[in-house]
Amino acid sequence: MSRIAYVNGQYLPHQHASVHVEDRGYQFADGVYEVCEVLGGRLIDEKRHLKRLSRSLTELRISHPMSDKALGVVLREVVVRNKVRDGLVYLQVTRGVAPRNHFFPPDHTAPGIVVTARNASVAKSSAMAEKGVAVISMPDNRWDRVDIKSVSLLPNVLAKQMAREQGAFEAWFVDDEGYVTEGSSTNAWIVTKDGTLITRPADNGILKGITRAIVLELVEREGMKFEERSFTIEEAQQAREAFITAATTLVMPVVVVDDVTVANGAPGHIATTLRSLFHTQAEIADS
Ligand code: PDD
């Protein structure tokens, strides 16, 4: 089956799905994106993802390509056309096509929009969660607006690749004061010895993850202790548990931090519980 992408108003087979060479996303990484989980053919937390997309667009003064309602139609259509049951839908909006020039293009320039979707193995992700993953750390060398979900992800790409080359799944960025900000494509969490969940406040130092927000709601709902504060790599290494969250990984236990085994090296009870309860708190859209 040929995969289908939505590109600027058309549904096209991938081999014909292309954007102009002077799309500003291509030339300047001048665009934003969202990744939304699909479960049983339904979008998870669609409203929050579209709200964050809108915020990212507004922060960068890129015009909205269409209403949330119309975006919802396109997202569903791409999911259906690609026969996605469990997987992801990717949405990207750029400042559009214009002769290369750092200045913003004229106001009438239409934003560029691309939507793709693909299946992802739930079994593979569950198997990974049963073992837990390793993370490495590295200095956070990104700009100070990582709260915007920009497609400008070069430091994140380099960090993720370095993690893989060192046998890890994720890289945690560490700020100038020695505190973990977040992962290259995930938010970072620990559970202290007394059972308190810790995650960094959603300031400009991290992306305000949708999965993070749902997990925080879940933690409150279940009456678990939590604190939004920064933590260090040493604290994570001595924690009772550690985990990461994102639409792509959901709640994924971390069992090794910079070659140090966390607790007994097995996924923790809290992370495992939050993973299993996640979809009882997330918003599951109509198909
Ligand atoms: N990444 N932090 C960063 C830097 C991210 O790129 C992401 C998501 C998150 C988690 O956000 P959410 O819970 O809303 O998925 C945190 C997506 C999945 C990606 O780039 O593929």
What is the 200 CA–ligand 1 centroid distance (Å)?
15
Instruction: Give me Rg for the CA atoms of the chain.
Output: 19
Catalytic residue among 51, 83, 124, 149: 149
Q: Read off φ and ψ for residue 241, nearest 5 degrees.
A: -150, 160
The confidence score (pLDDT) of residue 107 equals: 95
Closest Cα to atom 16 of ligand 1: 186
Q: What's the pLDDT score for residue 41? A: 97
Pocket flag, ligand 1, residue 250 (CB < 6 Å): no
152 ligand 1 Cβ < 6 A: no
Distance 238 CA to ligand 1 centre (A): 25
pLDDT given for residue 1 in this prediction = 73
Each residue's pLDDT tens digit, 149-203: 999 999 999 999 999 999 999 999 999 999 999 999 999 999 999 999 999 999 8
Is any atom of ligand 1 closer than 6 Å to the C-beta of 187?
yes
DSSP bridge pairs for 172: 137, 183
Q: Which atom of ligand 1 is nearest to the CA of 146?
A: 4
Bridge partners, residue 118, by sequence: 88
Give the atom of ligand 1 at the shortest distance from the alpha carbon of 149.
6
Residue 216 has phi, psi (to 5 degrees) of -60, -40
Q: Which of 275, 240, 242, 272 is nearest to 257 (CA)?
A: 242
Q: How many whole angstroms from 169 Cα to the centroid of ligand 1? A: 14
Residue nearest atom 6 in ligand 1 by C-alpha distance: 185
> SS3 string of the chain?
CCCEEEECCEEEEHHHCCCCCCEHHHHHCCEEEEEEEEECCEEECHHHHHHHHHHHHHHHCCCCCCCHHHHHHHHHHHHHHCCCCCEEEEEEEECCECCCCCCCCCCCCCCEEEEEEEECCHHHHHHHHHHCEEEEEEECCCCCCCCCCECCCHHHHHHHHHHHHCCCCEEEEECCCCEEEEECCCEEEEECCCCCEEECCCCCCCCCCHHHHHHHHHHHHCCCCEEECCCEHHHHHCCCEEEEEECCCEEEEEEEECCEECCCCCCCHHHHHHHHHHHHHCCECCC
d(CA 55, CA 60): 9
CB of 245 within 6 A of ligand 1: the answer is: yes
Residue 262's Cα: distance from chain center in Å? 24
Distance (Å) from CA 99 to ligand 1 centroid: 31
CA angle 270, 182, 168 (to 5 degrees): 75
Dihedral sign, Cα of residue 220, residue 225, residue 227, residue 230: negative
Q: Which residue's alpha carbon is at the smallest distance from atom 19 of ligand 1?
A: 185
pLDDT for the residue numbered 286? 84
Q: Which atom of ligand 1 is nearest to the CA of 247?
A: 15
- The protein residue whose alpha carbon is closest to atom 11 in ligand 1 is 209
Could you list the pLDDT tens digit for every one of the 287 residues in the chain?
A: 789 999 999 999 999 999 999 999 999 999 999 999 999 999 999 999 999 999 999 999 999 999 999 999 999 999 999 999 999 999 999 999 999 999 999 999 999 999 999 999 999 999 999 999 999 999 999 999 999 999 999 999 999 999 999 999 999 999 999 999 999 999 999 999 999 999 999 988 999 999 999 999 999 999 999 999 999 999 999 999 999 999 999 999 999 999 999 999 999 999 999 999 999 999 999 87
Residue 160 falls in the annotated catalytic set: no
Could you give the dihedral angle defined by the CA atoms of residues 274, 278, 280 and 281, in that order, rounded to the nearest 10 degrees? 100
Could you tell me the distance, in angstroms and rounded to a whole number, from the CA of residue 211 to the centre of ligand 1?
8
Long-range contact list for 125-128, CB < 8 A, 24+ apart? Answer: 125/249, 125/250, 125/252, 128/169, 128/252
pLDDT value of residue 146? 98
Q: Distance from the CA of 106 to the center of ligand 1, in angstroms?
A: 31
- Determine contact, residues 211/245, Cβ cutoff 8 Å: yes
Nearest CA to ligand 1 atom 9: 186
Q: What is the pLDDT of residue 203?
A: 84
Q: What is the pLDDT of residue 204?
A: 81
Domains delineated in the chain = 4-120 (3.30.470.10), 125-281 (3.20.10.10)
CB burial of residue 106 (10 Å; 0-12, 13-18, 19+): exposed
